[in-house]
Amino acid sequence: MSTVAEGPARPLTQLSEDEKLFQASVRQFAKEQIGPHVRAMDEAGVFRKEILREFFELGLMGIEIPEEYGGQGGTFFQSVLAVEEIAAVDPAAGVIVDVQNTLVNNALLRWGNDEQKRRYLPKLAADTVGAYALSEAGAGSDAFALAARAADQGDHFLLSGRKLWTTNGAEAGLFLVFANANPEAGHRGITCFLVERDSPGFEVGKKEDKLGIRASSTCELILDNCLVPKSNLMGELGKGYKIAIETLNEGRIGISAQMVGLARGALEQALSYARQRKQFGKPIADFQGIQFDLARMATELEAARLLTYNAARLRDAGMPFLTEAAMAKYYSSEIAETVASKAVEVFGGVGFTKDCPAEKFYRDAKIGRIYEGTSNMQLMTIARQILGKP
């Protein structure tokens, strides 16, 4: 079991010059290009195609993809920085970049064969959104209780079933779909397939109308004898469970970054309002009650950031990070909701209205405790690790 003390020697919040420049450029882009459209996208429940196109042009959808495939050749930590900066402006935009980099690209880089990498990585870096389709109606926290089936037809598979809660489903051109090719073997029959949007028998179904991160699409996928060539089986037959587990361990660090960015955005809004809003003849920031709330919010945010950065640094260093990723995901999602809630209270009555940006952060925060492993699942992972249980 790894521990926080085993992390890289560099102070976790100390960035290299390249990381600082990257962070600053993403921050400026998020504020200037995403910020003006956040409210309209949230109300419409649709992400602007122009911003998605700019994500690709800036290289934000292929951060770790090697340059030979048209990507940026960057680090996992840079992906975390990008998600945090974008989520500080709009968590819905942050999760689009997160899923593309930490789940889809990452899975292909680790388990795709040479031909699959040559075929798909340049597209994912240039103009193709990716999606990760694991969950089903009966497979949430029990992720491997999959009803989706993959029938071997010689030179191809036929996939049947339904996938739910697929992030990026409305925009994606490539889907990582998990289905069981050998139900008698239980979870050891689960296999990962690369499914293109125009595959015969594949359909993107209902788009969910959500409480928060509304501009990020969450869709049902329908597999009606979906034809997938054998060449699109990723990794080994029956090893999809391993791909899912290990990819989600890294994806949770991305969600942690999203929640850190969300909490930072909420705190920044609360700080700005507290300095401007006057009651009893002075700014409310002069009152100790408000100061203490802001101080607690800042402390919790910094703790969540340190946990997240530590997990990301460990991953880039090739060191064990399972416990740290679970801790980061658990804690950052908890404090994001707390900080966003406190931000609403700092705004007072106006915080309860749609005109207040803190209201959206509060709605967006709720999903953090649920997707890519609920808080209870993170606690279970942490407990097993510290107790040395399998």
Q: What confidence tens digit (pLDDT) does each residue in 97-142 have?
A: 999 999 999 999 999 999 999 999 999 999 999 999 999 999 888 8
State the average pLDDT for the chain: 95
**In a 10 Å sphere around its CB, with 0-12 CB exposed, 13-18 middle and 19+ buried, how is residue 9 labelled?**
exposed
The per-residue pLDDT for 10 is: 56
What does the angle CA 129 – CA 135 – CA 138 come to, to the nearest 5 degrees? Answer: 160
For 6-75, what is the HEC assignment? Answer: HCCCCCCCCCCHHHHHHHHHHHHHHHHHHHHHHHHHHHHCCCCHHHHHHHHHCCCCCCCCCHHHCCCCCC
Whole-prediction pTM value? 0.95
Residue 136 and residue 116 in one domain: no
Residue 86 and residue 173 in one domain: no
Q: Catalytic one among 136, 300, 324, 372? A: 372
Residue 8 and residue 117 in one domain: yes
pLDDT class of 347 with cuts at 50, 70, 90 = very high
Residue 151 and residue 109 in one domain: no
Cα gap 366→377, rounded to integer Å: 16
If you ran DSSP here, which 8-state letter would residue 183 be given? G
Contacts with 80 (C-beta within 8 Å, 6 or more apart), sequence order: 253, 254, 256, 257, 308, 309, 312
Task: Among 90, 112, 129, identify where a domain stops.
Answer: 129
- Parallel, antiparallel, or unpaired: how do β-strands 156-167 and 149-152 relate? antiparallel
**In a 10 Å sphere around its CB, with 0-12 CB exposed, 13-18 middle and 19+ buried, how is residue 49 labelled?**
exposed
Q: State how many domains the chain has.
A: 3
What is the per-residue pLDDT across 261-313, written as a single tens digit (0 to 9) for each? 999 999 999 999 999 999 999 999 999 999 999 999 999 999 999 999 999 99
Neighbours of 161 (CB within 10 A): 19
Residue 13 and residue 68 in one domain: yes
Residue 14 and residue 38 in one domain: yes
Using DSSP's 3-state secondary structure scheme, residue 239 falls into: coil
The per-residue pLDDT for 322 is: 97
pLDDT class of 368 with cuts at 50, 70, 90 = very high
CATH code, 299 = 1.20.140.10
Residue 60 and residue 111 in one domain: yes
Total residue count of the chain as it appears in this document:
390
Domain that holds residue 194: 131-238
> For this structure, is 372 an active site residue?
yes
Residue 91 and residue 151 in one domain: no
CATH code, 42 = 1.10.540.10
At 385, list the tokens.
Answer: 């690790």
Task: Among 223, 238, 253, identify where a domain stops.
Answer: 238
